Chains A and B, each alone.
Chain A
Amino acid sequence: DAGVTQSPTHLIKTRGQQVTLRCSPKSGHDTVSWYQQALGQGPQFIFQYYEEEERQRGNFPDRFSGHQFPNYSSELNVNALLLGDSALYLCASSLGFTVGEKLFFGSGTQLSVL
């Protein structure tokens, strides 16, 4: 049983570019959340998707957008990249969107913006 898979594992971009990160949830899970983890910090919530809709959003600018597909996989898009967007981006999946449901995290995509 595959867990949460994210691609790519590493990515290097330059300022102003756009990036798309991908996530496949654990089998049987229907909810996907995205977190940004800057170096030396805890993860920060970006947004959560359920039934192909954004259910909740953290304090991130509109440059950060997402999508969930009918097969529950998800994409995170970041436009107009800034140096400060360099971070580990984590995807987490769960069954349902009630808090307390066990979140399963992927290993993340390490994004470096030069």
Chain B
Amino acid sequence: AQSVTQLGSHVSVSEGALVLLRCNYSSSVPPYLFWYVQYPNQGLQLLLKYTTGATLVKGINGFEAEFKKSETSFHLTKPSAHMSDAAEYFCAVSASSNDYKLSFGAGTTVTVRA
């Protein structure tokens, strides 16, 4: 079975500062990894995904994540936070191409200070 642990349920950053959201996964097979963002009263929106190939993945809105197999991690970063980045972020994993469900972490709420 696969699972995801997001370290830190809340992260507060200043506008213009680095955003770093941590995600560690457990999977018995090479995983497919995702980051989703959820704005208030909205559904989830895909930020980026890793399936195969390059381990540094670039997503929308300036976010990127790096798959590190040795550390079983898929941390999300953005060099410079913007007020519009305030939202809840979810890391998710799927075990293989035959496992269609996503297993989500508990989420990290990001607040951005002016």
Contact = CB atoms under 8 A, between A and B. Distances in A.
Interface residues of A toward B: which range? 20 to 34
A104 B14 CA distance: 30
Interface stretch (A14-22, A42-50, A62-70, A71-79): A42-50
B70 interface: no
Mostly, the A contact residues are loop
B42 to A, nearest CB: 5
A25 interface: no
Contacts of B45: 105
Interface string A46-63: 001000000110100000
Contact of B42 (A43, A45, A107): A107
12 contacts: A35-B102, A40-B106, A40-B107, A41-B106, A41-B107, A42-B106, A43-B104, A45-B101, A98-B97, A102-B46, A102-B49, A105-B43
Contact of A99 (B41, B97, B106): B97
A76 B32 CA distance: 27
Interface centre among B36, B42, B92, B100 (most CB of A within 10 A): B100
Contacts of A105: 36, 43-45
Contacts of B98: 99
B101 A48 contact: yes
